[in-house]
Amino acid sequence: MMTNPGNRITQGQFSFLPDLTDAQITAQIKWALQHGWAVSVEYTDDPHPRNTYWEMFGNPMFDLKDPAGILMEINNCRKTFPNHYIRVMAFNSTRGGESPAMSFIVNRPKNEPGYRLIRQERDGRSMGYTIESYATDKPEGERYA
Amino acid sequence: MSDTKNAGAAARPAGETDEAVDLEAEFKASNIQEVLDKLDRELIGLKPIKTRIREIAALLLVDRLRKQFALTAETPTLHMCFTGNPGTGKTTVAMRMGEILKRLGYVREGHLVTVTRDDLVGQYIGHTAPKTKEVIKKAMGGVLFIDEAYYLYKPENERDYGAESIEILLQVMENNRDDLVVILAGYKDKMDRFFQSNPGMRSRIAHHLDFPDYSADELMAIARLMLAEQNYRFSPEGEKAFAEYIPLRMQLSHFANARSIRNALDRARLRQANRLFAGKKKKLTRLDLITLEPDDILVSRVFQEGRPDGEAG
């Protein structure tokens, strides 16, 4: 899609902006902690938009007061998976909320090949459409090597 | 810090390169004096501790001024070790430390996370590291207070997981100096043995503070402070009785300084309530409700049998 140069995937908050710096990430986490949300770090190498549940990098972090600990985990995760998507999620556990309140990407693979459009011919000249990432041709763990 | 007044106030003539910063203004802006005054008011005795806190405050303030001149120095290590007998105020001071360091801009949040061996050391292989790290993450931006830290290391069991926990702590104490202040606390002799077997720990801790025992007068002042906090007071005779009680209690076994005083006061309150209840006086005044009489204190077993209260037998 030529409307999205570099084929950057756009999921969660801030994904149309240039990558956040560590200082900006810290500020965002600070905001989450001020609301009492539990922050967790997750990673994946399957960029499909319907891939909702990413792998957890360690447990969600409850009862933190300061973003430094979370930034430490983000950097650990970046070291372990330098070519994966990594996102930070803030979970609102208050009754009635109980859902992610924030989610933004903090690490991307160097090359994001984007998606191919797949057309499926169905009965009666109707067409089904779906997308598939070029990266997911390879097995998990080798996709962005 | 009494001679700060003439340090920065003088306005230099224009054109001089050696521009001045106002130490006094900086001092006032940080509200340090307020914290130190509060410390003086609410913590009785503890001279060496207060002196050291004052020194640390001065260092951090000067460091901040140096930064204005782009004179960088390494962040000072503020990891501390509190040693002293039970009830000498180690936890109380640690709690204050968070607030003080926050005012000085050394830590960002200034909260205190109190842990013991159980919170740091896991039960099976691979359990310790995540557990320790989780605690460390919680304490970041504040103060990590490890009570009875000498339990972390058990020399008699070489497969003990405590050593792993110490290793992680050491690493964090070195690399995340900006994020976290670690305070270890414990009894003096046991801590000395702990440091002997962990020289790396000893060298990473800059401040070794020894909490002295309180004198009888100081304990009396503490008792008055504790009562005032709970809206009680001694009657003049009650105070006299308690002043007799303190030296007697100090000679008995299991004397835990301020903690023993707190327990004695708690029991006195119990007896006071009982006395008011048993006394047939129907109408009680406010004064009746807040006053501890000698009767509430003199029935203690310390006077009767020379044995601390609350002990079996």
The whole-number pLDDT of residue B18 equals: 63
How many Cα atoms are found within 13 Å in the side-chain-facing hemisphere of B260? 28
Q: Mutation test of the interface with chain B: which of A59, A65, A71, A79, choosing the one with the most B Cβ atoms within 10 A?
A: A65
Is it the case that residue B236 has pLDDT exceeding 70? yes
Q: How far apart (Å, rounded) are the C-alpha atoms in residues B183 and A60?
A: 26
Give residue-wise pLDDT tens across range A89-122.
999 999 998 999 999 999 999 888 889 999 999 9
CA proximity to A34, closest of A72, A67, A69, A80: A67
Confidence of residue B7 (pLDDT cuts 50, 70, 90): very low
How confident is residue B310, by pLDDT bands cut at 50, 70 and 90?
A: low
Place of tokens 């009862």: A63
What value does the mean pLDDT take over residues B289-305? 84
C-alpha atoms less than 13 angstroms from C-alpha of B310 in its C-beta half-sphere = 13
Distance CA(B33)–CA(B115), nearest Å, equals 30
User: What is the distance between the alpha carbons of residues B225 and B229, in angstroms, rounded to a whole number?
Assistant: 6
Minimum mean pLDDT range among B65-74, B109-118, B137-146, B245-254 = B65-74
Record: contact A72-B137, CB cut-off 8 A:
yes
| Count of CB atoms situated within 10 Å of the CB of A127 | 8
Tell me what the mean pLDDT of segment B255-275 comes to. 90
Which tokens in the block code for residue B57?
A: 């405050």
Task: Say how far apart CA A49 and CA B55 lie, in whole Å.
Answer: 57
Q: Greater confidence, B59 or B13? A: B59
Question: Tens digit of pLDDT for each residue in B184-205?
Answer: 999 889 999 999 888 888 888 9
Q: Is B130 helix (H, G, I), strand (E, B) or coil?
A: helix
Residue B209 has pLDDT above 80, yes or no: yes
The average pLDDT across B135-157 equals: 90
pTM of the full predicted structure?
0.80
Chain B partners within 8 Å of A74 (Cβ): none
pLDDT digits (tens, 9 = 90+) for B86-143: 888 888 888 888 888 888 788 888 899 999 999 999 999 999 999 999 999 999 999 9
Residue B157 has φ and ψ, to the nearest 5°, of -125, 105
Measured distance CA(B215)–CA(A131) in Å, rounded: 79
The Cα–Cα gap between B195 and B198 comes to: 5
A105/A98 Cα distance (integer angstroms): 21
Q: Does B176 sit within 8 Å of A72, measured CB to CB?
A: yes
The pLDDT assigned to B16 comes to 45
> Which stretches in chain A have pLDDT values below 50?
1
Q: Residue B301 and residue A74: Cα distance in Å, rounded?
A: 59
- Best residue of B101, B115, B137, B173 to probe chain A, by most A CBs closer than 10 Å: B137
Ranges B16-30, B41-55, B246-260: which has the least confidence: B16-30
Name the more confident of B19 and A73: A73
Q: pLDDT over 90 for what percent of chain B?
A: 27
Q: Which residue in chain B is spatially nearest to A61 when comparing CA positions?
A: B134
